[in-house]
């Protein structure tokens, strides 16, 4: 069966997850949230005290990786959700502590190799919309459609802060902005699979656009 892969890459807090979910629902595709995967592993790093003096205990994490398996699990809402070892995580993955750690986790070669295999495996059965940092360049370099989202750091920080406030997650706007800037730096400069726009991706600056406008633009390109 021929399947379609839509890759949506871009910087943190550009609306990738929100748009990918909407697009997947609109098209009847499966949504694969790669950010969830890295955040879930980051959460486990914190839970297992594998972070000492801001340095990840790589050896301990690498030992645990083979046992960390992602799969689809039906929730109480009758929808399929991504689960790590049969547990579906929620807002605990959106804390400032996890956000500050996720780029460091994503820079580890062993973690990227482990998740690359699973990202491709989760996408075998159906057409997918997948968002992340390297979907169109590494995970699915031959994706059917590729998009790259960008926006000014201050705009992205304000969006993320508003989302955190709405969900009751603690943190200041200054902390969020600092996190956005640092994640940009780490994601763009890591040695393996750095954040970079695929040559054949359509770049969209969402700074002055709301979600509805960006969603319509994506649909126009896909449905033509």
Strand (E) or helix (H) holding 189: helix 173-189
Quote the pLDDT of residue 122. Answer: 83
Integer Cα distance of 129 and 213 in angstroms: 18
Long-range contacts of 213-218 (CB under 8 A, 24+ apart): 214/15, 214/19, 214/149, 215/19, 215/22, 215/23, 215/26, 218/8, 218/19, 218/23, 218/147
**Residue spans per domain, the chain:** 5-219
Q: What is the pTM of this model?
A: 0.88
46-65 average pLDDT score: 95
Distances (CA, A) of 161 to 9, 80, 185: 21, 28, 19
Quote the pLDDT of residue 1. Answer: 63
114-127 average pLDDT score: 89
Confidence of residue 218 (pLDDT cuts 50, 70, 90): very high
* Domain covering 5-219 in this structure, CATH number: 3.40.50.300
82-107 average pLDDT score: 91
Higher pLDDT, 63 or 12: 63
Return the beta strands (E) in 18-175 as ranges: 30-33, 51-52, 55-56, 70-74, 80-84, 128-132, 145-150
Tell how far CA 39 is from the center of its chain: 8
């Amino acid at each position: 069966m021929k399947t379609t892969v839509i890759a949506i890459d871009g910087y943190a807090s550009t609306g990738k997850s929100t748009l990918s979910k909407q697009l997947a629902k609109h098209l009847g595709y499966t949504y694969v949230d790669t950010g969830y995967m890295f955040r879930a592993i980051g959460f486990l790093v914190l839970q297992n005290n594998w972070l000492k003096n801001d340095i990840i205990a790589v050896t301990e994490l690498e030992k645990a990786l083979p046992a960390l398996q992602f799969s689809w699990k039906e929730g109480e809402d009758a929808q399929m959700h991504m689960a790590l070892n049969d547990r579906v995580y929620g807002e605990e993955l959106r804390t400032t502590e996890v956000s500050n750690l996720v780029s460091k986790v994503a820079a580890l070669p062993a973690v990227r190799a482990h998740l690359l295999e699973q990202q491709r495996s989760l996408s075998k059965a159906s057409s997918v919309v997948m968002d992340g940092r390297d979907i169109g360049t590494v995970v699915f370099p031959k994706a059917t459609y590729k998009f790259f989202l960008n926006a000014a750091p201050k705009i992205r920080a304000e969006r993320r802060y508003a989302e955190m406030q709405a969900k009751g997650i603690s943190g200041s706007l200054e902390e969020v902005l600092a996190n956005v800037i640092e994640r940009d730096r780490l994601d763009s400069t890591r040695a393996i699979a750095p954040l970079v726009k695929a040559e054949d991706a359509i770049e969209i600056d969402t700074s002055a656009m709301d979600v509805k406008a960006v969603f319509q633009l994506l649909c126009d390109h896909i449905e033509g």
